Amino acid sequence: MNEEPEGRGCGGCLLLLAALAALVAVLAGRPLWDGRSGDVRSAPESALPAPARTVPAEPSGRRPGVVNIDTEQGLRSTRAAGTGILLDASGLVLTNNHVIQGATTIRGTVTDNGRRFPADVLGYDKSGDIAVIRLRGAARLKPAAFGDSGLVQLGDPVTAVGNEGGKGGQPKVVTGRITALDQQVTATDQSDGSSERLTSMIETDAPIRPGDSGGPLLNTSGQVIGVNTAASAGFTMNQGAHRGYAIPSNRALAVARQIQEGRASDTVHIGRTAMLGVQVRSVTRTPGQGTAPPAASGALIAGVLPGTPAEAAGLPEGAVIVALNDRPVDSPGTLTGFLLRHHPGDTVRLGWVDSAGRRFTTPVRLAEGPPQ
């Protein structure tokens, strides 16, 4: 993903908007551009494609149902771009979570016809790096065809398609073969040091590039067998040189169906995202670097965003958030996970320790922020 910073972020801090805030997403194919998270609008379950079965032959040059995704992170004045896959004719789009993470606006361009639409976030699985958005006002589009990722074998020819470099226009196409199955890859959020382990990944030697994230990995019949993902600015993966990774299509479709049905869980967030309004980082105690934090663990407040619930509640910079609704918070990632279980308008009890070591519990009514 090609990221164009228009301002400087809070190096090492996570904007906690309804979950820690905006990372620039473009995992070796993950980008951002436009969209406010909106209310879930369910489509018929039949709209999601059923896997088909095929026999490998030669790489496919077909590029069905590909969407270029552009996002803006208004809170950090940055832009990014990635890729999505059309799930149905009404504009339901599957992509990586990191493509839309932190986005205050999202737009999708259907590469089949060049039509551009604003998009709303229906839901996302942060830990599994899957998100579903809807192109507002779209109709009569041609969705992608999906294959059965359970039939993928080592050595199968594949085609990776995406918005390479975030340049837009017709998708770029690269080919390769399946080099490994059931791989584990650790993705690290450089803003706070938290990490997620992506499991059961398909590995390919197809040269996936920034901007390709969220795009399709195709079998020889042009059917989607995986959702491309890799590494990006602010979000890196421990992948080897010239290796690309894709989330198996069967798993991605299962999460997409859960989001479409509006079924939230510990990992899947549905609808709009709640915002607290603080920039946080991990608690560290480095000898010789000023006063030690007032708590051994938690989410250290490095900044408070103006006009947010955190400012209204009087949360001070330098304090450490140690609990939410009486549940211990031991890191920024834990705080994010707790916040993702809530929605705008919810009131939570925030436990925090000030710089003098005094502990407080403050009710905070959450506002609306970008997806996490």
pLDDT digit string (tens) for 248-305?
999 999 999 999 999 999 899 999 999 999 989 889 765 445 566 788 899 999 999 9
Is it the case that residue 335 has pLDDT exceeding 50? yes
Listed by start position, the domains of the chain span 23-260, 270-369
Per-residue pLDDT averaged across 135-147, rounded? 96
Is it the case that residue 181 has pLDDT exceeding 90? yes
How confident is the model at residue 187, as a pLDDT?
A: 72
Confidence of residue 94 (pLDDT cuts 50, 70, 90): very high
Q: For 16, how many CA atoms within 13 A lie in the half-sphere containing its CB?
A: 29
Torsion sign, CA atoms 176, 177, 179, 184: positive
Catalytic residue list:
98, 129, 213
pLDDT digit string (tens) for 23-45?
333 333 333 232 222 222 233 33
Q: What is the CATH number of domain 270-369?
A: 2.30.42.10
The model's pTM: 0.77
Confidence of residue 196 (pLDDT cuts 50, 70, 90): confident
pLDDT digit string (tens) for 198-244?
899 999 999 888 889 999 999 999 999 999 986 544 455 555 545 88
Is it the case that residue 19 has pLDDT exceeding 70? no
Pick the CATH number of 23-260 from 1.10.287.3510, 1.10.10.10, 2.40.10.120, 3.40.50.150: 2.40.10.120
Distance (Å, whole) CA 262 – CA 32: 23
